């Protein structure tokens, strides 16, 4: 596999670079600013190359823009209600960056050390104790590589020197047509339930069944078919922005999602070791805080679909959810694979 490096522009953290991996029918570009997936070119029907992820043409836009396009997200992906949690009898207060809540964290706005390890591209960073209010210094490693079967692998590992909470993901927006909105994309999820969302799109702690509701994707369905339904879970979020429960054996790589587009003929399969996935229908990709996308394009609303593999949102505050606690001597390791076919 060939890996190249080029300058991607200046940020307040220093010069950023773009690294491109190419193998078989895939070409993936990542920047060391936020470990973001900047471009993913896939061969569609008739061999036509399609860049299937949203992104920006320069590092400065990743620093200034919202949306977390392609970003490595943490220290805790998704929302923590009230921007605080209790761990071992102590309350930790986090930065409030989503109203009164904490959303994702600042990992997408940091510069990472980069190196190649065989066919893999590896990013590393030390997240210091107290960053955004989190306890424990955390050594992070993000590893990207492409396999022989057109699968893009994302492997996250971390170790801590003090008890902390951790939930890492990638926040790529997929548009398998490479243009327009993605509401015509058809989705199938092997997920029968989801965590209920309350006002402010924060979880309530309850788990609801998806069957028979507009959130049911157990059979192939266009993302846009029910997105405007008069259903409280959709109206609260302005579309899909929900954590689906994957289930299965913890830590085992399992296929759970398929996304396909008739316009390009591309189908994407998603596998993960994580217990859940956040389905987000790009409800704000046309927002005022979103700079022009690649090629100077203004992205429309619902320009991409996110399938963010992760732990449950706000798990540190709900003991009935899978634990998000990482302790010294333990190794956090999760893997997600995005595979493509025509």
Per-residue model confidence as pLDDT tens digits over 216-238? 999 999 999 999 999 999 999 99
Express each pLDDT in 244-287 by its tens digit.
999 888 789 999 999 999 999 999 999 999 999 999 999 999 99
Coil/strand/helix, residue 249: coil
Tell me whether residue 171 is one of the annotated catalytic residues: yes
pLDDT at 61: 96
Averaged over 38-44, what is the pLDDT?
97
The reported pTM is: 0.97
Express each pLDDT in 311-321 by its tens digit.
999 999 999 99
- The string of DSSP codes covering 6-32 is EEEEEETTEEEEEEEEEETTEEEEEET
pLDDT at 68: 94
pLDDT at 25: 86
Express each pLDDT in 162-205 by its tens digit.
999 999 999 999 999 999 999 999 999 999 999 999 998 899 99
With CA atoms as reference, report the closest residue to 322 among 312, 330, 336, 332: 312
Active-site choice (102, 104, 171, 334): 171
pLDDT at 69: 97
pLDDT at 66: 84
With CA atoms as reference, report the closest residue to 303 among 18, 60, 67: 67
Active-site choice (63, 104, 308, 334): 308
pLDDT at 205: 97
Q: Cα–Cα distance between 1 and 170 in angstroms, integer? A: 22
Express each pLDDT in 1-28 by its tens digit.
789 999 999 999 999 999 999 998 899 9
Domain annotation for the chain: domains and CATH numbers: 2-341 (2.70.98.10)
pLDDT at 306: 98
Q: Cα–Cα distance between 334 and 339 in angstroms, integer? A: 17
Averaged over 26-40, what is the pLDDT?
98
Express each pLDDT in 61-109 by its tens digit.
999 988 899 999 999 999 999 999 999 999 999 999 999 999 999 999 9
Q: Cα–Cα distance between 106 and 263 in angstroms, integer? A: 36
With CA atoms as reference, report the closest residue to 194 among 181, 182, 211, 169: 211
């Amino acid at each position: 596999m060939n890996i190249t490096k080029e300058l991607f522009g200046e940020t307040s953290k220093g010069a950023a670079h773009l690294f491109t991996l190419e193998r078989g029918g895939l070409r993936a570009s990542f920047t060391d600013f936020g470990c973001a997936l900047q471009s993913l070119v896939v061969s569609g029907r008739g061999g036509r190359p399609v860049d299937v992820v949203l992104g920006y043409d320069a590092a400065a836009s990743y620093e200034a823009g919202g949306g977390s396009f392609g970003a490595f997200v943490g220290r805790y992906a998704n929302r923590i209600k009230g921007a605080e949690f209790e761990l071992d009898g102590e309350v930790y207060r986090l930065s409030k960056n989503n109203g009164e809540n904490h959303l994702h964290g600042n990992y997408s706005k940091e510069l990472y050390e980069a190196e190649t390890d065989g066919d893999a591209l590896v990013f590393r960073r030390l997240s210091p104790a107290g960053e955004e209010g989190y306890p424990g210094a955390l050594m992070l490693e993000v590893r990207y590589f492409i396999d022989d079967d057109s699968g893009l692998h994302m492997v996250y590992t971390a170790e801590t020197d003090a008890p902390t909470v951790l939930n890492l993901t990638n926040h790529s927006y997929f548009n398998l047509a490479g243009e327009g909105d993605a509401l015509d994309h058809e989705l199938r999820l092997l997920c029968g339930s989801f965590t209920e969302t309350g006002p402010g799109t924060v979880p309530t702690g309850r788990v609801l069944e998806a069957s028979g509701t507009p959130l049911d994707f157990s059979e192939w369905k266009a993302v846009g078919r029910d997105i405007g339904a008069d259903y409280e879970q959709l109206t609260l979020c302005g579309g899909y922005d929900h954590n689906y429960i994957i289930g299965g054996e913890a830590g085992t790589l399992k296929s759970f999602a398929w996304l396909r587009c008739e316009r390009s003929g591309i189908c994407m399969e998603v596998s993960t070791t994580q217990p859940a996935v956040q389905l987000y229908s790009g409800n704000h990709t046309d927002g005022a805080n979103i700079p022009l996308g690649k090629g100077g394009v203004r992205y429309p609303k619902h320009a991409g679909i996110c399938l963010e593999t992760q732990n449950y949102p706000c798990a540190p505050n709900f003991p009935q959810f899978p634990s998000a606690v990482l302790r010294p001597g333990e190794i956090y390791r999760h893997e997600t694979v995005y595979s493509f076919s025509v």
